[in-house]
A and B are shown apart, each in its own frame.
Chain A
Amino acid sequence: MARGIGQYIVIRGLMIIPTILILYTIVFIFLRILPGNPVLAVVGTKNISPEQLQHLMEMAGLDKPLYVQYFDYLWKMLHGDFGVTLAFPMGKPVVEYLKLRFPATLELTIFGFTVSVLLGLLTGTIAATKKGTKIDTGMRLYSIIAYTLFIPWFGMMLQYVFGIHFHVLPTSGRIDPGIELQRITGLYVLDSILTGNWEAFTSAIRHLILPATTLGIVLSGAYTRLVRNNMVDVLSQDFIRSYYARGVRDWKVTWYALKNAFIPVVTLMGLQFAILLGGAVLTETTFNWPGMGTFIVDRIDYRDYNAIQGAVVFFAFFVGLISLIVDIVYALLDPRVKY
């Protein structure tokens, strides 16, 4: 058994490699197919000689044949080096940006994820326990509406209501200007707790509420449906009826049912985490959140090959890692899974 799961983890882990390779290749090709290049985007409307332009191209490594550029970058990536930025500021390691930006996205994702799971479990459970009633219909309707909400539009609505109308929450950024926070993990909430900086803590939480709620609500719809359907199945089983027959309280029965209905939800949680990272891109641009999403969008404007490739590959690696963890947890939770 132990050997079986070990092999399973290794095989699943190795599968991340071709996924990343395919993604890297696609991104590499698409970036090169499009006309223009990072050097020209930076030079813009400036008068430089063809010799200077050539010099800049050489400095950026863009004078080499495409296959050399492809394998050079691949080789660097294998050594944990994502190259240097080709647009402003030129020559800065992409890894430094990833270190700076990724924690912001991760923090938003964690909070958005928490909101979506809690909201999904709550609405799904309510719908299942009230099956066939107007409340059930309402919850199902909620799940559809939540799932179809367009993040920038919904985010802007929340910004107007809670920022502009009620003036209770900030509409953008991660922390109030001027607050000094010692950087340890890059997750502001965690760093503020670790350093006992409560001003920063409250500010970071306040800044997280709107983007995390936006992301959380939009992605909670999928949980609502899944939890409801699983709960309905479980609630109709014999052991539940026996609980009722023994006079166990309603909330306790619901709790037991929820625990039983939870396994498929774990799988969804893994998938949702990947979607959450994608959703975070839209949320970040709406709330001016300085994360990976806004970084990629900025870099696309400059056609910064290295930064875009690096960020996408890093994202893919992270999502692959989360999927792997979820699969392992799922395998451990459900004895029916074969390795």
Chain B
Amino acid sequence: MKSKVLSLALLAIFVFSVVASGCIGGEKTTTQTGGAGYAEQIVIGVTDKVTDLDPANAYDFYTWEVLNNIMEGLVKYKPGTLEIEPALAESWEVNEDSTVWTFHLRKDLKFADGTPLKAQDVVRSIERVMTIQGDPSWLVTDFVEKVEAKDDYTVVFYLKQPTSYFLALLTTPPYFPVHPSYSPNEIQSDQTAGGAGPYKIAKWVRDEELVLEANPNYYGEPPKTKRIIIKFYRDASTMRLALQNGEIDIAWRTLRPTDIESLKSEGKYSVIEVPGGFIRYVCLNTKAEPTNNVKVRQALAAAIDRQEISNKVFKGTVEPLYSLIPNGMWSHIDAFKEKYGDGNIELAKKLLKEAGYDENNPLMIQLWYTPTHYGDTEADLAQVLKEQWERTGVIKVDIKSAEWGTYVDYARKGQMQVYLLGWYPDYLDPDDYTTPFLKSTANSWAGTGYANPTVDELLTKAQSLTDQNERTKLYEQVQKILAEEVPYIPLIQGKLFVVTSPDVKGVTIGPDMIFKYSTIYKEKS
């Protein structure tokens, strides 16, 4: 009898959790309901981190997303499109050679706490970025010579050179006016005063939780959902469990391809697919053997089968990419496909033979990857590349890996032969997908050592021209040279996936890949 009692006691401890949860309320509490027809609160899970809440120093995609929700610039992308529309500025003019841009601000602008926002605040914020010289400051300092407030509502930018895509630059956070409480000459990483966006920060616990509340002084349409809570997760599997358990309403960046596939097949969730502008590519060291031989680089490019990579590694959650300029962006051409095809083993073998390699004298290369920075599919990506290259029978691949801090050190010092990297755009223009990679004065970070005066000249010219047709011709030329000289091999272009509980609506993410929270809502049940 007594032993039964003791056994039951043991069992009781194990099931304590169930009983306790029943007693103290097992209901999900992610959503409270408000009075305007929509739920008051939506919880979004992310595995990204907010690095720096100061737009003078923030330089990563997720942090820019948060800044885009608590701040706004003079212009912005129309939700879901690449079309630029007025934001804090209601109109603007540009002089003939696009070096002087004049913006007219709305008259009723206020920061989230009610402080009026005037032209002087825009100037102060831009000058602050120029003074602080934080990571993204080049987006301002490389282009803007001077900025002035003509009166309370007129801002004039004087540019260093004609810049046709200046409006695209203005959509980036370094150009967002910030509240006067930001220090004028110091980075304030945890500053929550924000700007004049649709939301304001109500609570911020780094790496744990960010609570945004609708900004009562926003000039535009009020957000549909009063409170957005961002929960930060260390890994995708925990975030997926949280979605399945109703702890979060939306799982955003970044679920693993296998999770997306499995959540899709469950049929209980809305899986929204958005074209993404981020790209993945292979870097080839043009200064070190054997990749200093252009035939070797061309052979490696020819042997890659991008569709297989997409299917095997990413379960179809990415699309093949044949240029550094992403699919769908003006001036993009499938330069690598036109020159090499895809998975063209015969051509690869021929090129290798021309380079002096055959079965008896195989090409030995080291392929490097970094295990966590680009998610946990990276080792698989390296493995599939190895298999594809080794299919030639002439290449032997030795896979190596290093943690991010070490990896970037190796890349900068040109210590790796062949390695994988990825790119998120700063602004949506072909320039951002070409200049940082190919211009000899701008690509030291990549470690490929690539330099070509013709390319430098073409890129400089394209930067200053205002006619898009003219620019298109130049970028097409650059892409052809890239495919010929192969300092990089474009692999894939990412798609973005937002997985939501079925009652969440209004998710709109445009080509800028920024998730604007103000359009999402959850109808009251």
* A and B: bona fide binding partners: yes
| Contacts from A to B (Cβ < 8 Å) | 34-38, 40-41, 43-48, 52, 88-92, 100, 115, 118-119, 122-123, 125-126, 129-130, 135, 156, 159-160, 162-164, 166-174, 176-180, 202-203, 205-206, 209-210, 213, 250-251, 285-288, 290, 294-295, 297-298, 301-303
A162 to B244, CA, bound (A): 12
Question: Which of A45, A159, A213 is within 8 Å of B241, CB to CB?
Answer: A159
- Stretch from B143-151, B207-215, B336-344 forming part of the interface with A: B207-215
Instruction: Decide if A89 touches B238 in the complex (CB within 8 Å).
Output: no
Cβ–Cβ contact B209 & A177, under 8 A: yes
CB contacts (< 8 Å) of B9 on chain A: these are: 122
Q: Cβ of B389 < 8 Å from any Cβ of A?
A: no
Q: Which of B41, B209, B227, B408 contacts A41 (CB 8 A)?
A: B408
B residues within 8 A CB of A173? 208, 231, 242, 247
Given A92-B189, A122-B9, A173-B247, decide whether A45 and B408 contact each other with a Cβ distance below 8 A: yes
Contacts of B246 in A (CB 8 A): 167
Which A residues are CB-close (under 8 A) to B36? none
Chain B 427-444 interface mask (CB, 8 Å, partner A; 1/0): 000000000100000111
B287 located at the interface, meaning its Cβ lies under 8 Å from any Cβ of chain A in the complex: no
List B contacts of A166 (CB < 8 A). 18
Cross-chain contact A118 with B13 (CB below 8 angstroms): yes
A46-B445, A169-B18, A210-B17 known, 17 other contacts, Cβ within 8 Å: A41-B404, A45-B411, A45-B445, A47-B442, A52-B133, A119-B13, A125-B6, A126-B7, A163-B244, A164-B244, A169-B21, A172-B247, A173-B247, A176-B247, A213-B17, A290-B205, A298-B49
Q: Is B387 an interface residue (CB 8 A)?
A: no
Q: Is B131's CB within 8 Å of the partner chain A?
A: no
Given known A-B contacts A88-B51, A177-B30, A205-B24, A36 and B407 have beta carbons under 8 A apart: yes
Give the residues in chain B near A38, CB-CB below 8 Å: 405
Interface assignment of B59: CB less than 8 Å from any CB of chain A:
yes
B406–A36 contact, CB under 8 A?
Answer: yes
A37 (CB) vs chain B CBs: closest residue: B405
Q: A178 — which chain B residues lie within 8 A by C-beta?
A: 29, 32, 41, 43, 211, 227, 229
Q: Contacts of A287 on B, CB cut-off 8 Å?
A: 238
Q: Please, how many angstroms separate the alpha-carbon atoms of A209 and B229 in the complex?
A: 23
Interface residue count on the B side (C-beta < 8 Å): 75
A11 and B411 alpha carbons, distance in the complex (Å): 51
Judging by beta carbons under 8 Å apart, are A206 and B24 in contact?
A: yes
Assuming the A-B contacts A88-B52, A122-B10, are A47 and B17 also in contact, with contact meaning beta carbons closer than 8 angstroms in the complex? no
* Interface residue SS majority, chain B: mixed
Smallest beta-carbon distance B242→chain A, Å: 5
Interface residues of B in 382-436 (CB under 8 A from A): 402-412, 421, 423, 436
**Chain B contacts with A in 427-479, Cβ cutoff 8 A:** 436, 442-446
Q: Per a CB cutoff under 8 Å, which of A88, A135, A202, A203 touches B49?
A: A88
25 cross-chain CB contacts under 8 A: A35-B409, A36-B409, A40-B412, A41-B405, A88-B189, A89-B52, A91-B187, A100-B205, A118-B13, A156-B237, A162-B17, A164-B244, A169-B17, A169-B18, A170-B247, A174-B208, A177-B43, A177-B209, A177-B231, A178-B227, A180-B203, A202-B24, A205-B20, A206-B21, A251-B2
Q: How far is the CB of B267 from chain A (nearest CB, A)?
A: 16
- In the A-B complex, the 10 residue pairs with the smallest Cβ-Cβ separation, listed nearest first, are A89-B189, A36-B405, A41-B405, A36-B406, A303-B405, A88-B51, A36-B409, A202-B24, A177-B229, A209-B17
Cβ-defined contact, B7 with A171, below 8 A: no
User: What is the chain A residue whose CB lies nearest that of B441?
Assistant: A47
Question: Which chain B residues in 1-55 approach chain A with CB under 8 Å?
Answer: 2-3, 6-7, 9-10, 13-14, 16-18, 20-22, 24-26, 28-30, 32, 41, 43, 49, 51-52
Q: Is B368 part of the binding interface, using a Cβ–Cβ cutoff of 8 Å?
A: no
Q: Is the CB of A46 within 8 A of B409?
A: no
| A163, B26: Cα distance in complex, Å | 10
CB distance from A225 to the nearest CB of B (A): 16
Write out the residue numbers on chain A whose beta carbons fall within 8 Å of the beta carbon of B412: 40
Q: Cβ of B245 < 8 Å from any Cβ of A?
A: yes
Q: Contact between B234 and A45 (Cβ–Cβ < 8 Å)?
A: no
Tell me if A171 and B238 are in contact (CB < 8 A): yes
**Residues of B close to A203: CB separation below 8 A:** 29
Chain A residues with CB below 8 A from B409, complex form: 35-37, 40
In contact, B234 and A288 (Cβ under 8 angstroms): yes
Query: Whole-angstrom distance between the alpha carbons of A34 and B410 in the complex?
Result: 12
Once bound together, how far apart are the Cα atoms of A250 and B3, in whole Å? Answer: 12
- With A90-B187, A205-B24 already in contact, the answer to whether A290 and B238 are too (CB < 8 A) is no
In Å, the complex CA distance between A319 and B10 comes to: 30
User: In the bound complex, do residue B406 and residue A35 qualify as a contact, i.e. CB atoms below 8 Å apart?
Assistant: yes
Q: Are B21 and A288 in contact (CB under 8 A)?
A: no
Q: Knowing A36-B409, A89-B189, A126-B6, say if A297 contacts B234 (CB, 8 Å).
A: yes
Query: Is B65 part of the contact surface with A, judged by Cβ < 8 Å?
Result: no
Q: Is the CB of A290 within 8 A of B41?
A: no
> Which residues does chain A contribute within 8 Å of B404, judged by CB atoms?
36, 41, 44, 301-302
Give the chain A neighbours of B238 by CB distance below 8 A: 171-172, 286-288
Q: Which A residues touch B248, using CB under 8 A?
A: 177
Q: Which residues of B contact A285 (CB under 8 A)?
A: 234-235
In the complex, the chain A residue whose C-beta lies closest to that of B133 is A52
CB distance from A209 to the nearest CB of B (A): 4
Contacts of B231 in A (CB 8 A): 173, 177
